Amino acid sequence: MPQRPPVSTDPLRNRGTAFTVEERANLGLVGRLPSAVETLDQQAERCYRQISSYSTDLQKYTYLDQLHDRNEVLYYKVIVDHLAEMLPIVYDPTIGDAIKQWSNDYRDSRAVYLSIDRPDDVRESFTGLGLGPDDVDLIVVSDAQEILGIGDWGVNGTDISIGKLAVYTAAAGIDPSRVVAVNLDVGTDNEMLLNSPEYLGNRHARITGQRYDDFIDLYLRTASELFPNALLHFEDFGPSNARRILEDNRDSYRIFNDDMQGTGAIVMSAVFSGLKVTKQTFAEQRLLVFGAGTAGTGMADQISAAMIRDGLTAEEAKARVWLVDVNGLVTDDMADLPNYQAAYARPAAEVADWARTDGVIDLLTVVTEVKPTVLIGTSTMHNGFPQAVVEALAAGVERPILLPLSNPTERIEVMPADAVPWTDGRALIATGIPVDPVNYNGVDFHIGQANNALLYPGLGLGTIVSGAARVTDGMLLAAAKAVADQVDPTGLGASLLPDVDNLRASSATVALAVAKQAIEEGVATKSHDNLVQAVEDAMWQPIYSGNPE
Ligand SMILES: NC(=O)C1=CN([C@@H]2O[C@H](COP(=O)(O)OP(=O)(O)OC[C@H]3O[C@@H](n4cnc5c(N)ncnc54)[C@H](O)[C@@H]3O)[C@@H](O)[C@H]2O)C=CC1
Ligand SMILES: CC(=O)C(=O)O
Ligand SMILES: [Mg+2]
């Protein structure tokens, strides 16, 4: 068993200037701190002032990252007290910039690094943490092939695992002493990193095929054997790996793919809200997904499943979905379609007389022909929804649901400041990044953040509280409904989704719905006399409690 680090270097126990005189004496800290003994509030106010003095978000990110490694209670106190302001700093979009700089700016890191070149180290990398089988609730892992919309960042992508965990704790009170961030270093195809003297990861191309699959398998087996209660969250894997890993393992392990399932569920929430405005059913929707990768096809799966629940056959549901990717509309005569696109490919004969540009049926043509009721952007293509596309969308239906979801800011398909006037305020909009309200014709249009961060923390908490052995489709749907039920979207300019400011309360509501569903489906392994209280009790609070020794 590894020795506990000295208290002043252990961010889980360190309290800095909040240590009392007595604690300082007991902990060997006499003379190591200035005389003043502060409260947590006083410390948090100073930190907030310091953060506010920085001029760039990346500087604020760096400050908070260092605080995270120094004093976790204080770090979470500052974030929770200013959730809407801090989430875009410690998470999306600023985290994208931090990841690009990660090797250059490297100082220290709390993650577990697993290298495909050293599979024999995997077990020891976990056992070296000194945590027992009941000590871990959650592990977030990424191989960093598709970080947000900025591509392959190899070991630099470690911060996405850390950032996603920070959101779990800030938003849903997942205990930060019971989580682990993991980077799977399988190489990188990012030439810039491979040629950078600063790069800290394996200097070879991504390993693929059997060796990759064996490594994933080794991770799953080792992590779930050592920490049998942990939810294994997968983040930002490449599209074919993300889907294959989930499909092959979801019946055997407690795993969750955030980009497919979490994003699909938050989009379901936004569509539930949109349909309250249009007073339609899922079965009446025509769904167009622009950018048919991990997230986009995950949404197509959940929305077409909702159409089937509304009474359509699988064939009828499929006939109401269109995918547009780099080669335009996805049709069944295209060679080498990945299976997740082939599942929704349109019959070539059906579109034989549609207009083509350089042989491609482009987005504008599809919008004009199909008149989608829901248009989703997960393409990573900034300005992928130009004015002509947005106007064609609004010409096709009265209240289109428009979800430009690509992150970070440099990737979003259209900014609401443009889309609101282009649709004369008729579009029901939510975005992946946080966006300020748009004032148009005297009305403030509030733009909900359809980012999986608004849903996965509560889903994770509900899974942990219920001890659900699997994350089922029913649990995802319960989470989506619980998010949507928190807003009244019917007023002009109302948001489709709850405010980030209310995220802790929202996450508790989601967790309760998820835990109830897990119990109903018989996948829960824990029982509670009072589930509401169990969720409340499970939420870690950023306060100094207990004996720091
Ligand atoms: N709001 C949210 O909660 C989430 C948003 N996303 C965002 O969605 C975007 C995609 O993420 P993933 O699905 O993980 O990536 P991915 O790489 O799996 O999918 C992207 C897809 O877009 C296609 N694409 C690229 N350029 C295009 C273009 N010019 N026109 C049409 N299609 C194009 C690619 O071929 C690929 O199929 C990212 O920006 C990511 O940040 C992803 C997950 C959650
Ligand atoms: C939000 C998220 O998971 C992504 O953009 O990849
Ligand atoms: Mg992601």
User: Does residue 451's CB lie within 6 angstroms of at least one atom of ligand 1?
Assistant: yes
Residue 44's pLDDT band, with cuts at 50, 70 and 90, is: very high
User: Is 419 within the bounds of a domain?
Assistant: yes
The pTM for the full model equals 0.96
User: Is 357 within the bounds of a domain?
Assistant: yes
The mean pLDDT of 480-498, rounded to a whole number, is 97
Examine the pLDDT at 387 and tell me if it is beyond 70: yes
User: Does residue 381's CB lie within 6 angstroms of at least one atom of ligand 1?
Assistant: yes
Residue 4's pLDDT band, with cuts at 50, 70 and 90, is: low
92 CA from centroid of ligand 2 (Å): 8
Residue 3's pLDDT band, with cuts at 50, 70 and 90, is: low
Q: Which of 153, 451, 456 to mutate to test the pocket of ligand 2 (most atoms within 8 A of CB)?
A: 451
Q: Are both 69 and 154 inside the same structural domain?
A: no
The pLDDT tens digits for 146-159 are 999 999 999 999 99
The pLDDT tens digits for 418-430 are 999 999 999 999 9
**HSE on the CB side for 413, CA within 13 Å?**
27
Taking the C-alpha atoms of residue 339 and residue 322, their distance in angstroms, rounded to an integer, is: 15
Q: Are both 293 and 375 inside the same structural domain?
A: yes
Q: Are both 404 and 265 inside the same structural domain?
A: yes
Q: Are both 287 and 426 inside the same structural domain?
A: yes
- Which ligand is closest to the CA of 142, given by its number? 3
User: Is 546 within the bounds of a domain?
Assistant: no
- Check: CB of residue 65 under 8 Å from CB of residue 72: no
pLDDT at 543 (0 to 100): 98
Q: Which of 381, 385, 407, 431 to mutate to test the pocket of ligand 1 (most atoms within 8 A of CB)?
A: 407
CATH number at residue 62: 1.20.1370.30
Indicate the residue among 253, 281, 300 that finishes a domain.
253
Q: Are both 140 and 14 inside the same structural domain?
A: no
Q: Are both 309 and 223 inside the same structural domain?
A: no
User: Does residue 461's CB lie within 6 angstroms of at least one atom of ligand 1?
Assistant: no
User: Is 270 within the bounds of a domain?
Assistant: yes
Split into its structural domains, the chain has a count of 4
User: Does residue 92's CB lie within 6 angstroms of at least one atom of ligand 2?
Assistant: yes
Nearest atom (ligand 2) to Cα of 452: 1
User: Does residue 452's CB lie within 6 angstroms of at least one atom of ligand 1?
Assistant: yes
Indicate the residue among 202, 232, 253 that finishes a domain.
253
Q: Are both 407 and 530 inside the same structural domain?
A: no
User: Is 320 within the bounds of a domain?
Assistant: yes
Residue 2's pLDDT band, with cuts at 50, 70 and 90, is: low
Secondary-structure breakdown of the chain: helix, strand, coil percentages, each rounded to the nearest 5: 50, 10, 40
- Check: CB of residue 205 under 8 Å from CB of residue 189: yes
- Check: CB of residue 513 under 8 Å from CB of residue 478: yes
Q: Which of 236, 380, 500 to mutate to test the pocket of ligand 1 (most atoms within 8 A of CB)?
A: 380
Q: Which helix (H) or strand (E) holds 243?
A: helix 239-249
Count, residues in the chain: 549
259 CA from centroid of ligand 2 (Å): 6
Indicate the residue among 404, 430, 451 that finishes a domain.
451
The pLDDT tens digits for 174-226 are 999 999 999 999 999 999 999 999 999 999 999 999 999 999 999 999 999 99
Closest residue to atom 6 of ligand 2, CA basis: 148
The pLDDT tens digits for 458-487 are 999 999 999 999 999 999 999 999 999 999
Q: Are both 128 and 112 inside the same structural domain?
A: yes
Examine the pLDDT at 1 and tell me if it is beyond 60: no
Taking the C-alpha atoms of residue 50 and residue 519, their distance in angstroms, rounded to an integer, is: 46
The mean pLDDT of 11-39, rounded to a whole number, is 96
Q: What is the mean pLDDT of the chain?
A: 96
pLDDT at 231 (0 to 100): 98
325 CA from centroid of ligand 1 (Å): 9
148 CA from centroid of ligand 3 (Å): 5
Residues recognised as catalytic = 91, 164
Q: Are both 130 and 12 inside the same structural domain?
A: no
Taking the C-alpha atoms of residue 401 and residue 395, their distance in angstroms, rounded to an integer, is: 13
Residue 341's pLDDT band, with cuts at 50, 70 and 90, is: very high
User: Is 405 within the bounds of a domain?
Assistant: yes
Q: What letter represents residue 256's amino acid?
A: F
The pLDDT tens digits for 244-274 are 999 999 999 999 999 999 999 999 999 999 9
User: Does residue 434's CB lie within 6 angstroms of at least one atom of ligand 1?
Assistant: no
User: Is 97 within the bounds of a domain?
Assistant: no
pLDDT at 523 (0 to 100): 98
Residue with tokens 């003095």: 53
CATH number at residue 216: 3.40.50.10380
Taking the C-alpha atoms of residue 256 and residue 245, their distance in angstroms, rounded to an integer, is: 10
CATH number at residue 417: 3.40.50.720
pLDDT at 547 (0 to 100): 84
Closest residue to atom 2 of ligand 2, CA basis: 148
The mean pLDDT of 36-59, rounded to a whole number, is 98
Examine the pLDDT at 8 and tell me if it is beyond 80: no
Q: Are both 444 and 464 inside the same structural domain?
A: no
151 CA from centroid of ligand 1 (Å): 9
User: Does residue 325's CB lie within 6 angstroms of at least one atom of ligand 1?
Assistant: yes
Closest residue to atom 43 of ligand 1, CA basis: 259
Q: Chain centroid to CA 281: how far?
A: 27
The pLDDT tens digits for 274-330 are 999 999 999 999 999 999 999 999 999 999 999 999 999 999 999 999 999 999 999
Residue 110's pLDDT band, with cuts at 50, 70 and 90, is: confident
- Check: CB of residue 71 under 8 Å from CB of residue 14: yes
Examine the pLDDT at 9 and tell me if it is beyond 90: no
User: Is 513 within the bounds of a domain?
Assistant: yes
Question: Percentage of the chain with pLDDT > 70?
Answer: 99
User: Does residue 462's CB lie within 6 angstroms of at least one atom of ligand 1?
Assistant: no
Domain ranges, residue 196: 107-253
pLDDT at 37 (0 to 100): 98
* 235 annotated binding-site participant: yes
Closest residue to atom 2 of ligand 1, CA basis: 451
Taking the C-alpha atoms of residue 364 and residue 283, their distance in angstroms, rounded to an integer, is: 24
Q: Are both 285 and 404 inside the same structural domain?
A: yes
226 CA from centroid of ligand 1 (Å): 34
* 190 annotated binding-site participant: no
Q: Are both 248 and 265 inside the same structural domain?
A: no
Closest residue to atom 6 of ligand 1, CA basis: 406
